Amino acid sequence: MDRALKSRLEAQLGSVIRGAVRQRGDQTEIRIAPADLPEVLRTVHESIDMRFEVLADLAGVDTGDTMQVVLHLWGERSSDWLRIIVEGLPREKPRCPSVTFLWPGAEWLEREAYDMFGIVFDGNRDLRRIFMPPDYQSFPLRKDFYLPDDASRSPGMGVRPVEKPHAPAVAEPDPAAAIRRSPAS
Amino acid sequence: MPRRADRTRQPGPAEALPAAGPRPSLDDPRVMLDRQAGALFEEIPPYPARTEREAEFYTPTEGELFLNIGPHHPATHGVMRLVVKLSGERVVDVDPVLGYLHRGVEKICENSDYYHVIDQVDPLEYVSSLFQEWAAVLAFEKLMEVEVPQRAEYIRVLSAELLRVQSHTLYMGFLALDLGGLTPILYSFIERDEIVEMLAALTGARMLFNYFRVGGVNGDLNHEFMSRLGDWMSRAGKQAEANAALLNENEIFVRRMRGVGVLDRATALGYGVTGGNLRASGVPFDLRRVHPYSVYPQLDFNVPTRQEGDSLARYLIRVDEIRESIRIIDQCLHQMPDGPIMAPRLPRLLRPKPGRAWGAVEGPRGMLGVYAVSDGTDQPFRFRIHDPSFLNLEVVPHLLPGNLLADTMAIVASLDPVMGGIDK
Amino acid sequence: MAVGKRGARPPKAASPGRAAEPARAAPIVVPNTFWRPAEPLAYRPGLEPDVTHLREFGQTDLGRRDDGRWEALQVIPTQADYILDLIRANSLWPLLSGLACCAFEMMSGATSKTDMDRWGMFPFRASPRQADVLIVAGTLTTKMAGPLVRLWEQMPEPKWSVALGDCTVSGGRYKRSYSTVQGIDRVMPVDVYIPGCPPRPEGLIYGMLQLGQLVKDRRGQWAEREIGPTVPDEV
């Protein structure tokens, strides 16, 4: 729990951080809007007291209502992991600026987020599918992606009545209503 | 998946065949059978390039040719496809195509409860599966704020370091195999069999262990494991030295690896490379030291670092790490406390409160991270695995150009990719 | 493993106490259009296993050229066939087709501690043209299905295939995944299924020995194999 990091972040990025800087365990978390991402990253990457030089992860998250891009950074000056949640990406056309200007290695991570969620990264020179075949039409990790045989609702749930212990007693569940939404996260 | 029968039926009289002219007899050696089979998989473009990089790559200039290595090739570490653009024997550019082992683990984990997630996450880096489990349970323990008893931590470190020794030994064997040496792989597999039988006595399975649990480990040390471990430890050091000497003293191996595929520090950091590949480029980044977890602060070990950044340095780092891991195992055995192996008072069905957690461990290939988002139910809302081999492989288009085709395998093998983790 | 027509049984009639069984998926029988045998009669399916092709050959035009002589020689071709099958069974060369985790158990079965070389299976050929057995070890994804089927088709007859591990047998732990093939028998014919996740190398050896037994039992009949799910759809 790096209190100094929290104060540094609030001092340098207070205007773009949405809400408070949350800290739990060894992680510090800030939430920003997509348009602010390049500025935030430049600040945390280059500022003398906060040199977060290692990009640990770039992931997409589908919260049911919106999409998020979550970055994890590590730096020598702080004992915490910094988590940057870029939130508020609309579900129909999620766009986010690319971080490849700072970390060329994020190209593949962004390709993966595009492949799984459909998040378009502006500035990524190579935004094509990385895992699925190039002519695949859907984005698998979205919450409204269902396999036709009801598979993604439960791994062990079969089709026979005896294999459905917890399934709701509806004939044809409404896919829009059945999207799992995360509680205000 | 479209049915094969639709594609392999004999074309009717009205159907236009792609080949011009009368249909040649099947015995004609020039017949292209895949035209009859239809396009079963994607071809090398010229379909219209979708991105800038594709256009740049798939436009050959004078004297360049495309060579497709994989997905089935005896030297790829699993199913990976490298489309290599060659000018003569020199590689000009390379486009790795992944996804041939994409199994949808993250989606399955969203629909599994927390115990099943630990099982599902095993086959990612199947060579060293305990590290993925460790990253996952680390993230879950942060979500649930569970304290792990000391004995369980020591057992975790012990089994994980054993697996690290096994993974590095296999790495040496596969590196030699990719370069054409058929002997070291046999020695590696002897070592691997011993370690894996040991871990089978401890965990019950040879490969996909499913051993770590949120709050501890599944089973305590038993007599079979300890006797095998003692047996192995008595000759581990000498055996590791002998295995390393097979390759270190081999002039062909050293000359093929020295100076090949030099990865400089700035590029390595920019690409997010972690693990032995980063330490071979001069950055002493080892999560066990820079961001310690478990009982690593109480263990005494060095972090081998080299400055050259070539394939030989990457290989020698793994050799050094085997030695360090054997030291760690020794210390674990001496420092192992008594006590429980699972945290007390854990509910049978894990339902962490809503929140997010990131846990990262130092695996044999680099930093393995797990980002878990919980929404209060018994299934994770989002389970994101960050695999080190993914970014390790991303430097391949940066390292290969300028080298000969024969160095392709040396460089790719020295980065130690495991396709299960890359493709998730 | 018998190569019979699967799903050929008619579905059970619906009675008041029993719901109608859903239709079983019909297997996809792929005729072997890529290679025509010189003697079509030799590869007709459904013949009894101890009828060798040479006896049928004796009833065709080519075989009837010299009537009396072939009858006495029936014993020798039968024995030759048997020896040929023994030779094939004891020298099955696998194709290096390790996709995922099971590949490690396959390699472990091929290296020193459990040694497949004892049964002649040491040379893992890299080229499908030189291989006899395709041991599919590891999860098959939809992207890889194309290359794998192409590998299978490139292997010359006689060839057999072994599904190693749960993922290739039935989809295994990836049964509910969007990008894996639920068992390789959906895309290519399989002779031996070896379950396990991953199966021990000894299990692989057992499967390969069963394959050897199969080679000897079939006596050269490996005609049109069936591709398709061998279990009913609803399971």
Classify residue A21: in a domain, yes or no: yes
Domain count, chain C: 1
Q: Which chain A residues are closer than 8 Å to B372 by Cβ?
A: none
- C169 occurs within a structural domain: yes
Closest CA of chain B from C110, distance in Å: 9
B136 is a domain residue: yes
Stretch (H or E) spanning B335:
helix B311-335
Q: Are B362 and B294 spatial neighbours (Cβ–Cβ below 8 Å)?
A: no
List pLDDT tens digits, range A123-148. Answer: 888 888 899 877 677 788 888 776 54
Looking at residue A33, which CATH number applies to its domain?
Answer: 3.30.460.80
The reply to whether B91 falls in a domain is no
* Strand-strand pairing, B367-374 and B380-386: antiparallel
Phi then psi for residue B21, to 5 deg, are 85, 180
pLDDT at C220 over 60: no
On whether the CB atoms of residues C143 and C179 are closer than 8 A, the answer is yes
B120 part of a folded domain: yes
In a domain, C100, yes or no: yes
B154-168, B267-281, B393-407, C69-83: which has the minimum mean pLDDT? C69-83
Residue B46 belongs to a domain: no
Whether A69 is in a domain gets the answer yes
Nearest neighbour of A141 by CB, restricted to B107, B274, B357: B107
Total domain count, chain B: 1
Bridge partners (DSSP) listed for residue A22? A29
Helix (H, G, I), strand (E, B) or coil at A29: strand
| Total structural domains within chain A | 1
Q: Is C217 among the domain residues?
A: yes
Residue A127 included in any domain = yes
CA distance B392 to B399: 11
C-beta atoms surrounding B309 within 10 Å: 24
On chain A, the residues whose CB falls within 8 A of the CB of C178 are 140, 145, 147, 151-152
Q: B231-240 pLDDT, tens per residue?
A: 999 999 999 9
pLDDT over 60 at B405, yes or no: yes
Between strands A27-32 and A81-89, the pairing is parallel
**Least Cα separation, residue C207 to chain A (angstroms):** 28
Residue A165 counted as domain residue: no
**Is A167 touching C (CB cutoff 8 A)?**
no
Kindly list the residues from chain C whose CB atom is less than 8 angstroms away from the CB atom of residue B166.
none
E-state strands within A40-170: 54-62, 67-74, 81-89, 95-97, 120-122
B160 CA: distance to closest CA in chain C (Å)? 18
Is A104 at the interface with chain B, CB within 8 A? yes
**H/E element, B173:** helix B150-179
Task: Give me the domain span that covers residue C109.
Answer: 89-227
Minimal CA separation from C205 to chain B, in Å = 16
Tell me if A172 is assigned to some domain. no
pLDDT-based confidence at C48, cuts 50/70/90? very low
Q: Measure Cα distances from C14 to C10, C22, C23, C233 in Å.
A: 12, 10, 12, 18
DSSP bridge pairs for C160: C133
Judged against a pLDDT cut of 50, whether residue B295 lies above it is answered with yes
Distance of CA C63 to the CA centre of its chain: 30
- Roughly how many angstroms between the first and final C-alpha of chain C, as a whole number? 21
Residues in C touching B40 (Cβ below 8 Å): 145-147, 149-150
Q: Is residue C58 a part of any domain in this protein?
A: no
> Is the N-terminal amide bond of B401 cis, ω within 30° of 0?
no
pLDDT score recorded for residue A177: 53
Asked if B407 and B260 touch (Cβ cutoff 8 Å), the reply is yes
CA distance A173 to A165: 16
pLDDT at B111: 81
> Do B267 and B398 touch, CB atoms closer than 8 A?
yes
Using CB atoms, pick whichever of B267, B375, B386 lies closest to residue A56.
B386
Burial class (CB in 10 A: 0-12, 13-18, 19+), C160: buried
Alpha-carbon span B196 to B229, nearest angstrom: 11
DSSP conformational letter for B291? S
User: What's the one-letter identity of residue B366?
Assistant: G
Which of A70, A74, A112 lies closest to B291 in CB terms?
A74
Banded model confidence at residue C62, pLDDT cuts 50, 70, 90: low
Most C CBs within 10 Å: which of A129, A157, A159, as the mutation test of the C interface? A159
Nearest CB neighbour to B108, from listed C31, C177, C227: C177
pTM greater than the 0.90 cutoff: no
- Cβ contact, residue pair A147, C176, below 8 Å: yes
Residue A146 has what pLDDT? 62
Write the DSSP symbol of residue C102. Answer: H
In a domain, A181, yes or no: no
pLDDT, chain B, mean: 85
Q: Strand (E) positions, B202-344?
A: 212-213, 216-217
Residue pointed to by tokens 């290695």 = A105
- List, as one string, the DSSP characters of C106-168: HHHHHSSSS-GGGGT----BSSGGG-SEEEEESPPBHHHHHHHHHHHHHSPSS-EEEEESHHH
Boundaries of domain holding A12: 3-136
Instruction: Assess contact for B176 and B183: CB atoms under 8 A.
Output: yes
Q: Report residue C155 CA to chain centroid gap.
A: 12
What amino acid is encoded at B152 in this protein? A
Higher pLDDT, B20 or B168: B168
- What pLDDT was estimated at residue B4? 44
Separation between Cα atoms, residue C55 and residue C67, nearest integer Å: 12
Cβ contact A185–B375 (<8 Å) = yes
Q: Would you state the torsion angle of the CA atoms of residues B272, B275, B281, B286, taken in this order, to the nearest 10 degrees?
A: 100
**Residue A13 domain-assigned (yes or no):** yes
Return the pLDDT at B262.
92
pLDDT at position B340: 92
Separation CA A73–CA A5 (nearest Å) = 13
Kindly identify which residue of chain B lies nearest to residue A103, measuring between CA atoms.
B270
Domain-located, residue A162: no
Q: How far apart are CA B352 and CA B237, in angstroms?
A: 43
Tokens found for residue B176: 């030699």
Mean pLDDT computed over B346-357: 89
- Asked whether residue B99 is assigned to any structural domain, the reply reads no
In a domain, B54, yes or no: no
Is residue C43 within 8 Å of C37, Cβ to Cβ? yes
For A102-111, B28-37, B164-173, C20-29, which range has the lowest pLDDT when averaged over its residues? B28-37
- pLDDT band (50, 70, 90) for residue C224: very low
Least confident stretch, B212-216, B275-279, C115-119: C115-119
Residue B123 included in any domain: yes
What CATH number corresponds to the domain at position C176? 3.40.50.12280
A132 to C179: CB separation less than 8 angstroms, yes or no: yes
Residue B299, judged by CB atoms within 10 A of its CB (0-12, 13-18, 19+), counts as buried
Query: Which residues in chain C are closer than 8 Å to A151, comparing Cβ atoms?
Result: 175-178
Tokens of B321: 């790490």
CATH number at residue B144: 1.10.645.10
pLDDT of residue A180: 64
CA distance A180 to chain B (A): 8
pLDDT digits (tens, 9 = 90+) for B167-216: 999 999 999 988 888 899 999 999 999 999 999 999 999 999 999 999 99
Contact A147 C178 (CB under 8 A): yes
Q: Are C179 and B104 in contact (CB under 8 A)?
A: yes
Neighbours of chain A (3+ CB pairs under 8 A): B, C
Nearest to B109 by CA among B88, B90, B135, B91: B135
On whether the CB atoms of residues A28 and A81 are closer than 8 A, the answer is yes
Nearest to C234 among A147, A154, A159 (CB): A159
Q: Over the Cα atoms of chain C, what is R_g?
A: 20
Full domain range(s) for residue B288: 105-423
Which bin fits B25, alpha (ψ -120 to 50), beta or left (φ > 0)? Answer: beta
